[in-house]
Amino acid sequence: MPGTEQYGQRGTPFDGFLYAPVGVDRGGNTVSVLSALARLGLDPWDEAAELSDLPRDGARNRLGSLLTRFGDVPALGRDQGAIIPRLVDLLPSASGRQGGQRRTAVPQGVRAIGLGPIVAILLVVLFLAQTFMFGTNGIGN
């Protein structure tokens, strides 16, 4: 059976952390950090980026509080003191990430504009330019 490493978003600095096992769930399945965060309704890559931006103690505290809410893996309740530091050690530090990987803050309420609206605006501008350049005589001819 193929391993989980062939699935999902690969090639990020967070792969070692996200695909690390946290334990075995009640159904006997190995649960990764990615799966645990997703089951909690969180975006795993966003959480990994936020955790890596924190000091190590802060990341351990935050990850511990997140995984405390995750009750599917009984070992997390018993061995959290050993599991959490091991997982946090797999996170890249903010300074260790490549320049293109750093997240930038976007002010609240500001969204990136997709390509569709830009193309629509360009088409309207071209239509208006054509109308003004070639014009009409006002009677539809």
Longest pairwise C-alpha distance within the chain:
83
C-beta contacts of 5-10 below 8 A and 24+ residues apart:
8/34, 9/45
Residue in the structure block whose two tokens are 């997390």? 76
- CA distances in angstroms from 109 to 102, 105, 106, 112, 123, listed in the order given: 21, 12, 8, 10, 27
- Domain coordinates in residue numbering, the chain: 12-96
How would you write the pLDDT of the chain (141 residues) with one tens digit per residue? 344 444 554 578 888 999 999 888 888 889 899 998 998 899 999 999 999 999 999 999 998 888 888 888 877 767 777 888 889 999 987 644 443 344 444 455 556 667 788 888 888 898 888 888 877 666 655
**What confidence score (pLDDT) does residue 47 get?**
92
